[in-house]
């Protein structure tokens, strides 16, 4: 690069620039040099940062001679010694239901992971609940839409529409239900060992303790009003539950068809509030696993919550991707894996996940999920949206013309085109 004095020597004599033009030329030269220098400094600084990060994982540097929770660290080695590609301090992307307090009652229990545990998760909250055989989650309704998957056992669910028609059905492990906000509903464990299920709500600050209950509506309405409304005497009002029931034991119900016959013309048959995902064919199946996508396109009542039920084989991975329309809330049902989430400003965090853990990915953040265990991973991807969407990194690169891809990736075209040339969703080992 020529010096500015050499540039000015070439512009003397006839037709030479004015003083103002020289001043401008000098300023532009200095700025260009500064930018070039900044680029070199930035590249050097990045290289130094990467070297330092790698050095911090060698020798005695990562050792911890002080106290450690060894059991917890064994479950999450990526938090204890993160890969050198992690950077900055993004918000938490991991929590576990096993760290939350259970509300224990006769007939079952419940606990939850909400915005209080994952502060960035303002769109989705989750509740894990158990009902013994015959036990009820009391008739109730709430402010948020409810999506659910049966994890074990069987249950009978009911929901009443504002038009007075009621939908009632029995569901088993792997099946789903959906209750719109404000629609009163119930859940009852069936024969055998009852059931356990995951509830997902389209409201990050949702609390399972903050629902509208049949018992409380009656207990906190003056008895004379109840008498005027129902015709029940004060003595009969005194026999009603004086406080919430919430979860409580009861007798097993009779056959489903008996309840449906009782409803007669008030049985809802058009809107389906359950979805038999356990018998659904995979939306996508590869050597790396399979995924079942359930949203409003195949489960029409699910207008505010979409889902993907993902199975990944050992060594396989959910390809690098992001979701352009909404954040992702995960629930891990089975297996062991790890996920890296990459945000803006180069912030990146890697965490390990096990059964009963919750993961969170901010909207549009790049991520993958890798099976690091010896058995299949099964986990849920949950979204506050009517329609599932994702963008594949491999597919995007494949659609770039050669020169565009090479300019950005700094790799030979032959190397670039070795990557998968379409969306795979799930990649094998």
Q: Cα separation of 28 and 18, whole Å?
A: 15
Q: Using 50, 70 and 90 to split pLDDT, how confident is the model at 28?
A: very low
Q: Locate tokens 């938090």: which residue?
A: 79
Q: Is 293 a member of any domain?
A: yes
Q: How far is CA 342 from CA 351, 358, 379, 390, in A?
A: 12, 18, 20, 15
User: What pLDDT is stored for residue 63 in this prediction?
Assistant: 84
267 and 297 co-located in one domain: no
SS3 content of the chain, % helix, strand, coil (to 5): 25, 30, 45
Q: Cα separation of 336 and 338, whole Å?
A: 7
Q: Is 81 a member of any domain?
A: no
Q: Cα separation of 305 and 124, whole Å?
A: 9
Final residue of a domain: which of 248, 275, 302? 275
327 and 418 co-located in one domain: yes
User: What pLDDT is stored for residue 57 in this prediction?
Assistant: 77
258 and 372 co-located in one domain: no
36 and 140 co-located in one domain: no
User: What pLDDT is stored for residue 55 in this prediction?
Assistant: 76
Count up the domains in the chain and report the number: 3
293 and 205 co-located in one domain: no
Average pLDDT over residues 255-279: 97
158 and 178 co-located in one domain: yes
Average pLDDT over residues 239-252: 97
Residue 347 clears pLDDT 70, i.e. is over it = yes
Final residue of a domain: which of 234, 254, 275? 275
* Mean pLDDT of all residues belonging to the chain: 90
Give the Cα-Cα-Cα angle 255, 208, 277 (nearest 5 degrees). Answer: 50
124 and 265 co-located in one domain: yes
295 and 422 co-located in one domain: yes
Give the Cα-Cα-Cα angle 353, 357, 363 (nearest 5 degrees). Answer: 85
Average pLDDT over residues 83-95: 93
Q: Is 89 a member of any domain?
A: no
User: What pLDDT is stored for residue 12 in this prediction?
Assistant: 45
291 and 270 co-located in one domain: no
Q: Is 85 a member of any domain?
A: no
Which residues span the domain enclosing 29?
Answer: 4-55
Q: Is 338 a member of any domain?
A: yes
CA dihedral sign of residues 119, 120, 121, 123: positive
Return the closest-CA partner of residue 333 out of 173, 220, 217.
173
CA dihedral sign of residues 229, 235, 237, 240: negative
Scanning 248-347, the segments in alpha helix (DSSP H) are 256-263
Q: Is 334 a member of any domain?
A: yes
239 and 358 co-located in one domain: no
Q: Is 162 a member of any domain?
A: yes
Domain CATH for 391: 2.60.120.10
Judge contact between 129 and 197, C-beta under 8 A: yes
44 and 132 co-located in one domain: no
266 and 184 co-located in one domain: yes
Residues with a known catalytic role = 381
Query: Under 8 Å CB-to-CB from 193, ≥6 apart: which residues?
Result: 132, 133, 152, 153
Better pLDDT: 49 or 370: 370
Structure tokens at 226: 């109840």
């Amino acid at each position: 690069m020529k010096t500015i004095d050499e540039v000015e020597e070439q512009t003397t004599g006839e037709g030479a620039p004015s003083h103002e033009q020289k001043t401008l030329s000098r300023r532009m030269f200095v700025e260009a040099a500064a930018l070039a220098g900044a680029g070199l400094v930035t590249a050097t600084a990045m290289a130094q940062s990467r070297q330092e990060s790698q050095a911090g994982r060698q020798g005695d540097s990562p050792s911890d001679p002080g106290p450690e929770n060894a059991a917890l660290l064994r479950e999450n080695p990526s938090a204890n010694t993160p890969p050198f590609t992690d950077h900055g301090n993004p918000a938490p992307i991991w929590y576990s239901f096993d760290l939350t307090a259970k509300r224990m009652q006769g007939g079952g229990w419940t606990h939850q992971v909400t915005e209080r545990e994952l502060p960035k998760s303002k769109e989705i909250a989750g509740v894990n609940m158990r009902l013994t055989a015959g036990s009820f989650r009391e008739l109730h309704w709430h402010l948020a839409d409810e999506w659910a998957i049966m994890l074990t056992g069987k249950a009978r669910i009911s929901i009443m529409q504002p038009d007075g028609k009621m939908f009632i059905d029995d569901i088993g492990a792997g099946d789903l239900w959906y209750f719109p906000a404000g629609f009163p509903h119930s859940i009852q464990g069936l024969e055998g060992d009852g059931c356990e299920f995951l509830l997902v709500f389209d409201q990050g600050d949702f609390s399972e303790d903050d629902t509208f209950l049949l018992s409380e509506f009656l207990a906190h309405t003056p008895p004379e009003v109840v008498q005027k409304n129902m015709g029940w005497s004060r003595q009969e009002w005194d026999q009603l539950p004086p406080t919430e029931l919430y979860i409580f034991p009861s007798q097993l119900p009779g056959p489903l068809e008996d309840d449906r016959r009782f409803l007669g013309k008030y049985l809802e048959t058009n809107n389906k509030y359950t979805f038999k995902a356990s018998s659904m064919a995979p939306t996508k199946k590869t050597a790396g696993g399979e995924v079942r996508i359930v949203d409003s396109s195949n489960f029409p009542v699910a207008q505010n919550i979409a889902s993907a039920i993902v199975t990944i084989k050992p060594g396989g991975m959910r390809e690098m991707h992001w979701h352009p329309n909404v954040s992702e809330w995960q629930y891990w049902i089975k297996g062991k894996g790890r996920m890296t989430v990459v945000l803006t400003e180069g912030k990146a965090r890697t965490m390990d996940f096990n059964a009963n853990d919750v993961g969170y990915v901010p909207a549009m953040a790049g991520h993958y999920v890798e099976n690091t265990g010896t058995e299949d991973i099964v986990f849920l991807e949950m979204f506050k949206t009517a329609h599932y969407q994702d963008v594949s990194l491999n597919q995007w690169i494949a659609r770039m013309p050669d020169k565009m891809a090479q300019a950005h990736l700094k790799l030979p075209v032959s190397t670039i085109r070795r990557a998968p040339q379409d969306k795979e969703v799930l990649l094998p080992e």
